[in-house]
Structure 1
């Protein structure tokens, strides 16, 4: 997640000085938003890319709006058990020498050749270089026949304190150049970028002006700064947000972003009362794991039962029956 337990305790007392580094300012020029100015790529000198926020700006933002990033909700879970996922293809974490600063989550044994696997690039909360906090979620998704390249390795020993857009781009380059083929029949035309908190903003920054990316999935995060929202004009693929209710610091920003996407662009927004931390630590990623799998199965495999879980409150196992609040638009024909 974006915050450690020590920092969460400090934030509970509203100590802005204790805010961790969601996006670290580095040497060189930082992207400066200006209506009408669209940089060629989503890269920036801060982690999370052009859609993200610097540490100093984050402190100012939180002090102004009064968000408590450490808040929890009625659906916040305790840590669950590690499994191989609930899908038909038991999954695990791998390392790959051709993508040495990442962890691969994929089925332990390649699925049958007629099962083509989409490619997902994942960014961690805080743009951390260790995906361990999200392992339960990522293994759950992979067990349904997906190959995921996540920023970082266990222990975070990549030589960097945070991941950058270039790290997620490296995942896409690796997959599209054949690196993912060892895990089974992969579909490099079915690619999504996704992530939690800073990692979600990294996912949007990585998808910006990259035609390889067909979907963006963001957990518990939206754009912080109003002056950057004009960049949403350049997002041309469907976006899904899975957020943690009004206590989630990403919640008010997602409400704005959802309304400002290009007219006609499909969007999906589901909210569960978890606060910013989500359900990642629960067995199989908890309710966010279930929601993510359903969305991916609908989008990349046209699974109608999964579509019903997301769109029909009366469908068996619907997100609404799981206490999600759901809103969506422009999905006619999808």
Structure 2
């Protein structure tokens, strides 16, 4: 048996064969992330530019909508899950069971506003999302932690707070996030069997010495990244290869740089990719699956200029 060490009050120090019991750490993003100081050092060393954009980056102002799905969505604050924002259909649907998502923001920010177009789009297809933070970031913290995303999971699975938004399906639960929030989603899912899928945007593990922790990931992982200009791109290339043998994985890249398309109307092409992935995974939608896996399918990601790679799926 590999040694599993519970780290509580101290920062996780990676060492091959050293597996903490949870993904918690003293830094935002958890055990798969790195500190802001280390990030600055990394960027100076590699020359990566988090502000780089690409041919698919959003241009102009986005229209404000309730999403393009069949269930117009909005944001809610909920006293049963403080310091979070809920994205859900305006009216609880009566004809659909809704998968649930715990979301982490870019920079592990405590304000999800910059991702609202994207999150409303997903919610409008019949999903309930609990995002770290509230509009304005008035949570008393500068960055979110694994404990914040775990609070979302607990809210979905242990209490009754989420039930007011409709018929939620806690057996179809994903952790998702952008940048630091993406690493938070993987750290939160680590050793938590309530999480069935991990979806990460524009990010991979920065530290080579932490990649051995990927051995402990037990559920399918999907990455949506922003092409070679994205500071997450080279690390995702490494992580994809190092997942446990036989574990399903999906990797799609679009020329946006690190910022993705979150700010576009209805979240742009990143939201389209995410919705189709979730519909395939949690609702067994064969049309959505084809868009992800078959370049010749109508509306495929490849036809939208994504470069796609996947393994252990047919």
What TM-score results when the alignment is normalised by the length of structure 2? 0.96
Query: Which of the residues 204, 207, 212 maps onto 2:189?
Result: 207
Shift of 1:28: 4.9
Equivalent in the alignment of 1:313:
295
Shift of 1:56: 2.0
Moved segments of 4+, more than 3 Å: none
Provide the rounded CA distance (Å) in 2 between the counterparts of 1:100 and 1:207.
21
Query: Which of the residues 220, 234, 248 maps onto 2:230?
Result: 248
Provide the rounded CA distance (Å) in 1 between the counterparts of 2:206 and 2:229.
15
Query: Which of the residues 125, 132, 149 maps onto 2:113?
Result: 132
Provide the rounded CA distance (Å) in 1 between the counterparts of 2:123 and 2:9.
37
Determine if the alignment matches structure 1 residue 218 to structure 2 residue 200: yes
1:56-71 → structure 2 map (5 Å cutoff):
56-71=37-52
Equivalent in the alignment of 1:32:
13
* SS of 1:187 mapped into structure 2: strand
Shift of 1:55: 1.7
CA deviations on 1:263-302 (whole Å, 9 max, x unpaired) are 0000000000000000000000000010000000000000
5+ residue gaps, structure 1, are: 1-26
Shift of 1:159: 0.7
Equivalent in the alignment of 1:43:
24
Between Structure 1 and Structure 2, how many residues are aligned?
Answer: 305
Provide the rounded CA distance (Å) in 1 between the counterparts of 2:243 and 2:177.
19
Provide the rounded CA distance (Å) in 1 between the counterparts of 2:200 and 2:277.
12
* SS of 2:129 mapped into structure 1: strand
What TM-score results when the alignment is normalised by the length of structure 1? 0.90
CA deviations on 1:2-35 (whole Å, 9 max, x unpaired) are xxxxxxxxxxxxxxxxxxxxxxxxx952110000
* SS of 1:97 mapped into structure 2: coil
Determine if the alignment matches structure 1 residue 146 to structure 2 residue 127: yes
Query: Which of the residues 265, 268, 279 maps onto 2:247?
Result: 265
Equivalent in the alignment of 2:284:
302
What is the CA RMSD across the aligned residues, in angstroms?
Answer: 1.0
Determine if the alignment matches structure 1 residue 280 to structure 2 residue 252: no
Equivalent in the alignment of 1:86:
68
Equivalent in the alignment of 2:99:
118
Determine if the alignment matches structure 1 residue 109 to structure 2 residue 91: yes
